[in-house]
């Protein structure tokens, strides 16, 4: 054959990459990324994905003709003709969607104008049969493939569809990353370097750090005994490991030592540390970066973090990290639960590229109790698939652990090997630094009076407007935190609170005779309950779920320096201001009546048992086979796209609003206004959260605009206060 069929042309060198060369490179990478059971399938996937480029119209396009050509479906049509059953459908989903995203399966009567797989497969294309002269694929052993697909499904159609969907997204991940990497290597010639690690050196440093701690006091001895339970089982056989240890017992170092031990022992490629909130990541990342230094280059992937904003990074590292964010090809990753699970359940190329690099990993879920109940089934199912089929292990880490062994068996793979690493809880009481007392219904004024009895107090309420009202009512030294404020201001305020507490401790080490003008009251919503290490004399928590109350208590007497410290639980006696009590609040109220110490293990176990029993239907309502009005009973009809759009772990009722807080944010907003372009990652720190109706109100007042971009910005700074956030009405001015 004399004709050369082109896949890519390098814009600078004008060098040509043929379809054959690109297909073979992609196929080899696909196979390299794959688990053994799918290696032959992956090779075929890579070979067939670009066969549509053999159309003469595509060849004219790549040589400069300004025409649009669809090429992705052609390889899917070859797969349909060449293979059958589950193999054919998985190939079709992946190849047809390898640019636009995995499509919904749709139905056999879908017409060619439909974007579903069935609809797209009805379309007609120019002759692309020239692929037969260059692209050759072998048979895929259907029996082996089907046995792998049916394993662990126990004859359940629902389990089979769910597993097929996961492995389709996994295969799509291998394909799109292989395709992207080979294209980038050809077009750019040289890719940024990969991030480096030395897990052995990191483990040495963790051991040195743990060995440096004194073990003299009762608390120190108890910490060592509890941690040793975890370390003594580093060779245990399991897929999911539970580390349920109290706040103050060294959870972070304990979990990372266990993870490093397993990574070294099992030759794992990476450790992924998964955290529920953006606000906690800074603290965790600082701990690891200061501990490991140059022995591991940590990749941070979160919506509120941009490598462009960090001036202390070298350009070499910055480029390597920005490249690694695309596919998570990094040894040590810190990310959020939202980023992690929304990646797994996406249908888009940009997100799913990362999925295959969750294989051969140790996954640590910090504050694991915070997995959202309404997405618990898909989250647990994903963890069980990654540990069972992708050769990874998971660690669930928290001080308030639900019965994850029972939950994994009920909602994930029934025979998941779950191992509780901390069975002896006899020393947990040594870490109780405060008692919990119920105040009943109480007025705003009474809460403030009670708080003023202490040098420092933290008042946590359920509603942002309640926090704001209390803050405005009090006229002493005060601080306010809520998501009505930008992350930029929350970070500033938290820093100021810590400095003020440190100064108070220095000036009044015994906490006595503190003048009223030096007493501190912090007013906050629940955002302060995880990852913000404050040490307050007293905490006041509006009635909420037991997990929230115990997290709030973790801010009371955090360092254990004081005797008889208390966290007070209250309800607001104002009917208009009082929060509507839900299931979690009612369960907590029952536990307060039943247990003298609601922080005891029996109370925590009963809380989760009752909560998860009541919510058993809600736990399963977001399965891919049965969500909303859509039901799927066949692998040919899986709603990949609809489900990905539906899968939102963050409250969809809130929207983000950008507020200018410094020169950089003003510059970004100006760029958005005049060019329609801006870095979303750089904007995150300047965003606050409002409900849709609140945003609509600001738009009606002509103080919020999106400049046609869909990214709304506050255009009148009179509607923002650096201490309380969005005000929804302009400040008054008096002359």
Give the whole-angstrom CA distance, residue 6 versus residue 21: 9
Which residue reads 């941070």 in tokens?
300
CB-CB neighbours of 437 under 10 Å: 12
Least confident interval from 28-32, 580-584, 691-695:
580-584
On the question of pLDDT at 679 being above 80, the answer is no
Q: How many CA atoms lie within 13 A of 188 on its CB side?
A: 11
> Is residue 303 pLDDT above 70, yes or no?
no
The whole-model pTM stands at 0.90
Span 305-332, mean pLDDT?
78
CA geometry: angle at 235 spanning 233 and 236, to 5°? 65
pLDDT band at 586 (very low <50, low <70, confident <90, very high): very high
| 552: exposed, middle or buried (Cβ count in 10 Å: 0-12, 13-18, 19+) | buried
Shortest CA distance to 211 belongs to which of 234, 185, 231, 235?
Answer: 231
Helix and strand element counts for the chain (H, E): 28, 23
**Structure tokens belonging to residue 180:** 């992207």
pLDDT at 733: 46
Supply the DSSP symbol for 480: E
CATH class of 199-425: alpha beta
Per-residue confidence (pLDDT) for residue 629, from 0 to 100: 57
Which of 644, 4, 633 shows the shortest CA–CA distance to 350?
644
**For 220-236, what is the mean pLDDT?**
93
Q: How far apart are the first and last CA of the chain?
A: 86
Q: Which SS3 state, helix, strand or coil, does residue 574 take?
A: coil
Average pLDDT (709-722) is 93
Please check the confidence at residue 263 and state whether its pLDDT lies above 60: yes
> Tokens in use for 360?
């051969």
Place of tokens 């939202």: 338
| Model pLDDT, residue 685 | 87
What digits encode the pLDDT tens for the residues 374-395? Answer: 999 999 999 999 999 999 999 9
Coil vs helix vs strand at 507: helix
pLDDT of residue 734: 41
Confidence label for 630 from pLDDT (cuts 50, 70 and 90): low
Which residues, including other chains, have CB under 8 Å from residue 134's CB and lie 6 or more apart? Answer: 1, 5, 18, 19, 20
pLDDT above 80 for 660 = yes
pLDDT at 384: 98
Report whether 567 contacts 549 (CB < 8 A): yes
pLDDT of residue 302: 73
- Pick from 669, 673, 670: nearest CA to 658: 669
Assess whether pLDDT exceeds 90 at residue 256: yes
Cα 559 to Cα 381, 537, 563, 682, distances in angstroms: 38, 10, 11, 35
Average pLDDT over residues 27-46: 97
Mean pLDDT of 317-330: 85
| In the chain, domain spans | 6-188, 199-425, 433-598, 619-646, 654-726
Q: Please, is 579 exposed, middle or buried when counting C-beta atoms within 10 Å of its C-beta (0-12, 13-18, 19+)?
A: middle
CA distance 225 to 254: 12
SS3 (DSSP) at 6 = strand
Per-residue pLDDT reduced to its tens digit, 106-141: 999 999 999 999 999 999 999 999 999 999 999 999
pLDDT score at 16? 93
Report the mean per-residue pLDDT for the chain: 91
Provide mean pLDDT across the span 494-521: 94
Helices (H), 423-480: 444-451, 464-473
Q: What average pLDDT does range 655-683 have in this prediction? A: 87
As beta bridge partners, residue 541 has 460, 569
What is the dihedral sign for C-alpha 233, 234, 236, 242? positive
At 348-370, the pLDDT tens digits run 999 999 999 999 999 999 999 99
> Are both 199-425 and 433-598 of the same fold?
yes
pLDDT of residue 680: 73
Choices 3.40.640.10, 3.40.50.12280, 3.40.50.300, 3.10.310.50: CATH for 433-598: 3.40.50.300
Region 550-566: what's the mean pLDDT? 89
What token pair was written down for 201?
A: 């050196």
């Amino acid at each position: 054959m004399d004709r050369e069929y082109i896949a890519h042309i390098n814009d600078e060198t004008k060098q040509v990459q043929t379809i054959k060369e690109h297909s073979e490179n992609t196929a080899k990478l696909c196979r390299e990324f794959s688990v053994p059971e799918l290696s032959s399938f992956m090779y075929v996937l890579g070979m067939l994905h670009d066969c549509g480029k053999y159309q003469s119209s595509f060849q004219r396009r790549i040589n400069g003709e300004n025409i649009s050509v669809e090429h992705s479906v052609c390889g899917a049509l070859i797969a349909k003709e060449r293979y059958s059953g589950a193999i054919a459908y998985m190939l079709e989903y992946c190849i047809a969607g390898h640019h636009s995203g995995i499509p919904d399966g749709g139905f056999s009567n879908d017409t060619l104008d439909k974007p579903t797989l069935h609809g797209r497969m009805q379309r007609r294309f120019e002759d692309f049969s020239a692929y037969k002269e260059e692209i050759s694929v072998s048979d895929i052993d259907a029996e082996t493939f089907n046995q792998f697909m049916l394993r662990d499904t126990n004859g359940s159609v629902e389990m089979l569809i769910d597993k097929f969907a996961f492995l389709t997204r996994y295969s799509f991940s291998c394909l799109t990353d292989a395709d992207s990497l080979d294209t980038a290597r050809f077009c750019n010639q040289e890719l940024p370097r990969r991030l480096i690690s030395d897990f052995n050196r990191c483990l040495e440093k963790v051991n040195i750090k743990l060995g440096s701690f004194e073990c003299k006091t009762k608390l120190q001895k108890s910490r060592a005994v509890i941690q040793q339970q975890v370390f003594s089982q580093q060779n245990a056989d399991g897929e999911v490991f539970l580390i349920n240890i109290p706040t103050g017992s060294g959870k972070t170092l304990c979990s990372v030592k266990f993870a490093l031990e397993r990574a070294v022992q099992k030759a794992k490629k990476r450790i992924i540390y998964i955290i529920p909130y953006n606000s906690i990541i800074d603290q965790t990342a600082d701990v690891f970066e200061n501990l490991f230094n140059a022995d591991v280059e940590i990749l941070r992937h979160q919506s509120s973090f941009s490598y462009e904003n960090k001036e202390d990074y070298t350009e070499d590292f910055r480029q390597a990290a920005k490249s690694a964010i695309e596919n998570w090809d990094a040894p040590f990753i810190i990310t959020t639960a939202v980023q992690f699970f929304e990646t797994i359940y996406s249908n888009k190329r940009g997100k799913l590229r990362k999925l295959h690099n969750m294989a051969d990993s140790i996954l640590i879920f910090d504050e694991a109790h915070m997995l959202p109940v309404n997405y618990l089934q898909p989250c647990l199912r994903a963890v069980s698939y990654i540990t069972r089929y992708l050769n990874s292990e998971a660690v669930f880490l928290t001080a308030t652990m639900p019965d994850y062994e029972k939950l994994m068996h009920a909602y994930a793979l029934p025979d998941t090997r779950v191992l509780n690493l901390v069975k002896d809880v006899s020393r947990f009481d040594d870490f109780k630094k405060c008692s919990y007392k119920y105040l009943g219904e109480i007025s705003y004024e009474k809460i403030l009076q009670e708080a003023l009895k202490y040098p420092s107090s933290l008042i946590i309420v359920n509603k942002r407007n309640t926090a704001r009202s209390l803050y405005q009512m009090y006229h002493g030294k005060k601080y306010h935190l809520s998501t009505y404020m930008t992350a930029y201001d929350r970070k500033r305020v938290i820093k100021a609170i810590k400095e003020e507490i440190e100064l108070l401790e220095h000036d009044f080490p015994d906490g006595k005779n503190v003048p009223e003008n030096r007493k501190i009251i912090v007013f906050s919503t629940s955002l302060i309950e995880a990852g913000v290490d404050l040490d307050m004399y007293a905490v006041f928590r509006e009635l909420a779920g037991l997990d929230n109350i115990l997290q709030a208590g973790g801010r009371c007497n955090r360092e254990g320096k004081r005797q008889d410290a208390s966290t007070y639980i209250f309800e607001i006696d104002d009917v208009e201001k009082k929060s509507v009590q839900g299931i979690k609040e009612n369960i907590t109220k029952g536990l307060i009546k039943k247990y003298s110490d609601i922080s005891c293990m029996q109370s925590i176990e009963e809380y989760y048992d009752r909560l998860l029993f009541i919510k058993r239907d809600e736990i399963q309502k977001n399965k891919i086979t049965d969500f909303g009005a859509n039901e799927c009973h066949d692998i040919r009809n899986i709603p990949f796209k609809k489900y990905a759009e539906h899968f939102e772990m963050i409250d969809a009722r809130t929207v983000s609003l950008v507020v200018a807080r410094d020169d950089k944010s003003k510059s970004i907003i100006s760029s958005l206004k005049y060019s329609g372009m801006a870095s979303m990652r750089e904007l995150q720190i300047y965003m606050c959260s409002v409900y849709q109706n609140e945003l609509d109100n600001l738009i009606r007042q002509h103080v919020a605009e999106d400049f046609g971009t869909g990214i709304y910005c506050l255009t009148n700074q009179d509607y923002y206060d650096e201490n309380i956030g969005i005000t929804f009405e302009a400040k008054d001015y008096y002359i």
